């Protein structure tokens, strides 16, 4: 298959510890798996950053002409508290707390996840499988690992035997850890512990009578371990060895290390050629996280209802802010950084608009082909979006010079520049020109303000039938009026 652009793409590979030239298993095709959310609470902006990094990567691979099968799962079972081996299942715990069915919890937060990602203009993955939909596949893998002698059954649970595995394989090769050090650094096993060694991890956990999420298995009623679902779903849809596996940096150990161990133990070979890890979004210098309160939710940013930022910011501005950092760098969220990104984003959009109105000349003073290649070079160097964005601003600088009559551009080159800018800004970076929609919202607020005035007149004339009709019918349309001491305000749902 002929790629749209013959480019040499390099990817930071956590497995090799360097930037490797990307060579897919099957020319023209890419299989990519990314660990999805555990749907027991709303996604915060930190989670969104990781998924956004892979959305950008998915977009660029597609742009290069690859046929990409992108699998991103939904974790709806098996993820225990603190990513530990003991403790409650995060979803079951939330279900008990809120007196809901576990699947009600899953549905609520899966919908929130999709709505949030849609606001950020994410592309849908090709397949979005759930852990609970793949219990049979997980049981089959456990049987295989048991057969190969890398796991053991203890009191209705099944554990992966890390020490046995490490005799023939390298447990720790992804995260750069050594099993001896891990053993030296762990406390001795408690006497009642079923595990042979503290490093062993659960493939299957016996469900105690009070545990609500349970499935039958050859070892009794229970539920699968968290690491296993990703092995089952990635290999089912992408094959025993596939091209790219991604996730946040914090998943490298133990989650991804255990995925490698499970796959190698069951199939005898390494599951993934390129392991990619996206870095964390921080707030006040600390990782945003669900378990501490150090986080902010996308809707709080869009509405401005938060105590951190001075004003609301649109999804595209937030997206632009995140893509101005390389996906492997830590990024700190702050009001100043968002204000600067907003300015930059509007300057870019303004540049695009100005380009449309430029008068064409007989020559072009701007070397568009070499500039275009530099844009590709940036993306081919491990998806370097900050460098790409700096090149986009370079084009804006030329557009402004042409507008001022200091440089020229021909009609043909103008069309080509427009085309390249649209490709990178909208297709690859996934930004949206939200000035248009803010134009719509200006119209909307004008219309609602007019109706508020008419309602005030009706109330002054004691025509309560009309004033109530305006309030009720606006509410049906999703516009809620709120009467306060300083007049009437409104919110749009």
Residues that bind ligand AMP (CB under 6 A): 35, 37-38, 46-47, 49-50, 247-248, 250-251, 280-281, 287-289
Q: Please give the Cα distance from 460 to 281 (Å, whole number).
A: 52
- Binding at 281: pick from ligand AMP, Zn ion, none (beta carbon under 5-8 Å per type): ligand AMP
Interface with Zn ion by CB under 5 A: which range of 228-236, 290-298, 336-344, 376-384?
228-236
- Binding at 50: pick from ligand AMP, Zn ion, none (beta carbon under 5-8 Å per type): ligand AMP
* Binding of Zn ion by 260 (CB under 5 A): no
* Binding of Zn ion by 392 (CB under 5 A): no
- Binding at 375: pick from Zn ion, ligand AMP, none (beta carbon under 5-8 Å per type): none
Helix, strand, or coil here: 174? coil
Residues 327, 14: contact at Cβ < 8 Å?
Answer: no
| DSSP category for residue 80 | B
Q: Please give the Cα distance from 30 to 434 (Å, whole number).
A: 32
* Binding of Zn ion by 338 (CB under 5 A): no
Distance of CA 341 to the CA centre of its chain: 20
Q: How far is the CB of 76 from ligand AMP (least distance, A)?
A: 11
Whose Cβ is closer to ligand AMP: residue 36's or residue 172's? 36
Residues 6+ apart with CB under 8 A from 133: none
- Least Cα distance to 364 among 398, 404, 393, 394 occurs for 398
Whose Cβ is closer to ligand AMP: residue 41's or residue 364's? 41
* Binding of Zn ion by 35 (CB under 5 A): yes
Q: How far is the CB of 288 from ligand AMP (least distance, A)?
A: 4
Whose Cβ is closer to Zn ion: residue 230's or residue 379's? 230
Q: How far is the CB of 247 from ligand AMP (least distance, A)?
A: 4
- The count of chain residues that interact with Zn ion, using the rule CB under 5 A, is 2
Could you give the C-alpha distances from 313 to 165, 298, 301, 309, in angstroms and in order? 50, 10, 6, 9
Q: How far is the CB of 56 from ligand AMP (least distance, A)?
A: 14
Whose Cβ is closer to Zn ion: residue 228's or residue 378's? 228
- Least Cα distance to 18 among 382, 351, 305, 326 occurs for 382
- Binding at 246: pick from ligand AMP, Zn ion, none (beta carbon under 5-8 Å per type): none
Q: Please give the Cα distance from 329 to 249 (Å, whole number).
A: 10
* Binding of Zn ion by 71 (CB under 5 A): no
Distance of CA 448 to the CA centre of its chain: 36
Helix, strand, or coil here: 331? strand
Strand partners, 248: 278
Residue whose pair of structure tokens reads 């996840």 in the numeric block: 113
| DSSP category for residue 427 | I
* Ramachandran quadrant class, 487 (left: phi over 0; alpha: psi -120 to 50; beta: rest): left
Could you give the C-alpha distances from 167 to 139, 171, 313, in angstroms and in order? 24, 9, 53
- Binding at 266: pick from ligand AMP, Zn ion, none (beta carbon under 5-8 Å per type): none
Q: How far is the CB of 293 from ligand AMP (least distance, A)?
A: 13
Whose Cβ is closer to Zn ion: residue 162's or residue 230's? 230
Q: Looking at beta carbons, which residue is closest to ligand AMP?
A: 248
Whose Cβ is closer to ligand AMP: residue 117's or residue 409's? 117
Of 30, 135, 146, 230, which lies in the binding site for Zn ion, with binding defined by CB under 5 A?
Answer: 230
Whose Cβ is closer to Zn ion: residue 274's or residue 320's? 274
Tell me which residues touch Zn ion (CB under 5 A): 35, 230
């Amino acid at each position: 298959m002929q790629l749209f652009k013959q480019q040499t793409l390099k990817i930071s590979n956590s497995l090799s510890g360097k930037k490797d030239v990307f060579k897919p298993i099957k020319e023209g095709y890419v299989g990519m798996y990314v660990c999805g959310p555990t749907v027991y609470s709303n996604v915060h902006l930190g989670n969104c950053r990781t998924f956004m990094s892979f959305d950008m990567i998915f977009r660029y691979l597609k742009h290069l002409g690859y046929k990409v099968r992108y699998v991103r799962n939904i974790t709806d079972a098996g993820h225990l508290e603190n990513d530990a081996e003991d403790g409650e299942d995060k979803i079951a715990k939330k279900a008990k707390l809120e007196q809901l069915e576990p699947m009600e919890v899953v549905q609520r937060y899966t919908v929130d996840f999709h709505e949030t990602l849609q606001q950020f203009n994410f592309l849908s993955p090709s397949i979005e499988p759930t852990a609970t939909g793949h219990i049979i596949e997980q049981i089959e893998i456990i049987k295989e690992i048991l057969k190969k002698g890398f796991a053991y059954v203890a009191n209705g649970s099944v554990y992966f035997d890390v020490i046995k595995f490490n005799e023939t394989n390298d447990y720790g090769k992804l995260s750069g850890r050594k099993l001896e050090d891990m053993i030296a650094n762990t406390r001795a096993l408690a006497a009642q512990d079923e595990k042979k060694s503290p490093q062993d991890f659960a493939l299957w956990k016996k469900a105690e009578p009070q545990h609500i999420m349970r499935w039958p298995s050859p070892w009794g009623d229970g539920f699968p371990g968290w690491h296993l679902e990703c092995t089952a779903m990635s290999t089912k849809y992408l094959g025993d060895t596939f091209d790219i596996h991604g996730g946040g940096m914090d998943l490298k150990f133990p989650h991804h290390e255990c995925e490698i161990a499970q796959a190698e133990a069951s199939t005898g070979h390494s599951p993934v050629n390129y392991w990619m890890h996206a870095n964390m979004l921080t707030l006040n210098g600390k990782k945003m996280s669900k378990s501490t309160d150090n986080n902010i939710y996308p809707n709080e940013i869009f509405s401005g209802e938060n105590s951190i930022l001075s004003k609301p910011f649109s999804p595209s501005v937030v997206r632009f802010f995140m893509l101005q950092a390389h996906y492997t760098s830590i990024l700190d969220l702050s009001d100043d950084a968002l204000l600067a990104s907003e300015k930059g984003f509007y300057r870019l959009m303004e540049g695009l608009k100005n380009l449309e109105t430029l008068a064409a000349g007989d020559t072009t003073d701007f070397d568009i082909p070499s500039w275009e290649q530099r844009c590709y070079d940036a993306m081919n160097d491990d998806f370097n979006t900050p460098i790409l964005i700096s090149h986009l601003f370079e084009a804006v600088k030329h557009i402004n010079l042409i507008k001022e009559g200091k440089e020229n551009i021909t009609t043909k080159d103008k069309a080509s520049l427009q085309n390249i800018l649209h490709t990178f800004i909208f297709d690859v970076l996934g930004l949206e020109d939200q000035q248009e929609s803010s134009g719509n919202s200006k119209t909307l607020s004008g219309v609602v303000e007019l109706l508020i005035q008419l309602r005030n007149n009706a109330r002054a004339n004691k025509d309560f039938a009309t004033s109530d009709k305006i309030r009720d019918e606006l509410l049906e349309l999703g516009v809620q009026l709120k009467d306060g001491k300083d007049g009437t305000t409104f919110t749009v749902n």
